[in-house]
Amino acid sequence: MLIKSSLEYRQGTFLHFRIGRLRKVYELTETGRERFQQLMEQPLEYNAETERHFHFKMVYFQYVTKDVRLACLEQYLKFLQTTYKYVANLEAQIISQKPSPEKQRIQLLRVFEHRKHVGAADIEWITTEIERIKKEE
């Protein structure tokens, strides 16, 4: 999902007084605005690009309604929680099955511990952000 490349822009020019040269100015057409809204309202897909798409959407939150922002945050929270549970389940399997070699198993458990730590921090931050936005008027 690349919002910028799939929107329509209308081009104009204006004089920039400080620099003294013409600059191109772009604005969205009505069709572009509608497409932007569609893309922002589109649910996040759960794949390798989910985090990047979420952050891209978050940059443009000021242009969408509170409901769209909350929906996006809640979708991302669900993604984070699902990922956390997946890593925790893998960790439990490694602990119970004790595959060899031992040094590799120990290091793999350290990787899972790191992923869980990062995941927990992300979940906490998103949860706080959801609460903050819910309190907005």
Could you read off the pLDDT of 40-96 as tens digits, one per residue?
Answer: 999 999 999 999 999 999 999 999 999 999 999 999 999 999 999 999 999 999 999
Please indicate, yes or no, whether the overall pTM of this predicted structure exceeds 0.85. no
10 versus 14: which is more confidently predicted? 10
pLDDT of residue 10: 57
1 versus 22: which is more confidently predicted? 22
pLDDT of residue 8: 54
Q: 9-16 and 21-28 as β-strands: parallel, antiparallel, unpaired?
A: antiparallel
Dihedral, CA of residue 31, residue 35, residue 36 and residue 40, to nearest 10:
160
